[in-house]
Amino acid sequence: MMFNAEKTKNDLIEWIRGYFEKNGHDCRAVAGISGGKDSSVTAALCAQALGSQRVTGVLMPMGDQHDINYSEELVSLLGIKHYTFNIKNSVDDVLSVLKGGGLSLNRQAVINIPARIRMTVLYAVSAAENGRVANTCNLSEDWVGYSTKYGDAAGDFSPLSRLTVTEVKAIGEALNLPRKFIEKTPEDGLSGLTDEENLGFSYDVLDKYIREGSCEDASVKEKIDRLHKMNLHKLQLMPCFEYHAL
């Protein structure tokens, strides 16, 4: 079935309005802004759904961020209120405390800390401004676990988590966002690699597999399946012991 970006865009706008009617009709949408497709599309959808005066963008560079201008241009384009908080000192302090306490940190632990600090900042802004935090993950990233649990995978509402990267880009075009935001190469800002380089396959290949079930490269298919199974815990509620009184 052909993806109808215009209809989906309009449905998303109505869905966001409905969410805020039920979960805080006077609340603001709070979104972390990287200047890439996901945060740009999410912020633009919220601005159209609620009005730009009810959206807060939060820029969270870690030290010197070479592409911070994308984020600055995006909030200016949308006309939304925004804050900039540099998280470098916070990240360094946490790492110093952990190492000083004798913990030997591996690469995964180090990479996840900034994402969780950013989510802490977003919820602080949300609490201060009577807001609801927008999750900006998409289906493609979630499918293979390319997110941090309680970091960028967190949030109060999630407009894009059932849409692939290809579909998110189409929504961006339907919103008339400049292509620089839609096509900005996604990267984690830590490893020096793009998302696709870290994953070992392209989002085009992943999206086709998700939507059509086909993948020509058997080794890539095996890797996608393995990552999906291994990271399902990120998409499920925390398991709870069910107590039954006698």
How far, in Å, CA of 108 to CA of 87, rounded?
Answer: 18
- Residue 13 CB coordination number (10 Å): 19
Helix (H) or strand (E) holding 168: helix 165-174
Q: Given this model, what pLDDT does residue 54 score? A: 98
Q: What is the pLDDT of residue 191?
A: 64
Query: Is 141 domain-assigned?
Result: yes
Asked if the structure places residue 239 within a domain, the reply is: no
Domain assignment present for residue 109? The answer is yes
CATH number, domain containing residue 91: 3.40.50.620
How many distinct structural domains can be found in the chain?
1
Angle 218-230/203-212 helices, nearest 10 degrees? 80
Which pLDDT value is given to residue 187?
A: 73
Given this model, what pLDDT does residue 84 score?
Answer: 98
Burial of 9 (0-12, 13-18, 19+ CB in 10 A): buried
Residue 189's pLDDT is 63
Helix H or strand E segment including 133: strand 131-133
Q: Determine the Cα–Cα distance for residues 225 and 246; give it in Å rounded to an integer.
A: 42
Q: 241 in a domain, yes or no? A: no
What pTM did the predictor assign? 0.94
The pLDDT of residue 185 is 83
pLDDT of residue 188: 65
Per-residue pLDDT of the chain (246 residues; tens, 9 = 90+): 789 999 999 999 999 999 999 998 899 999 999 999 999 999 999 999 999 999 999 999 999 998 999 999 999 999 999 999 999 999 999 999 999 999 999 999 999 999 999 999 999 999 999 999 999 999 999 999 999 999 999 999 999 999 999 999 999 999 999 999 999 887 766 667 788 988 999 999 999 999 999 999 999 999 999 999 999 999 888 999 999 998
Q: What is the pLDDT of residue 140?
A: 97
39 to 47, 102, 135, 167: CA distances (angstroms): 12, 37, 9, 14
Range of the domain at 19: 5-234
In-domain check, residue 240: no
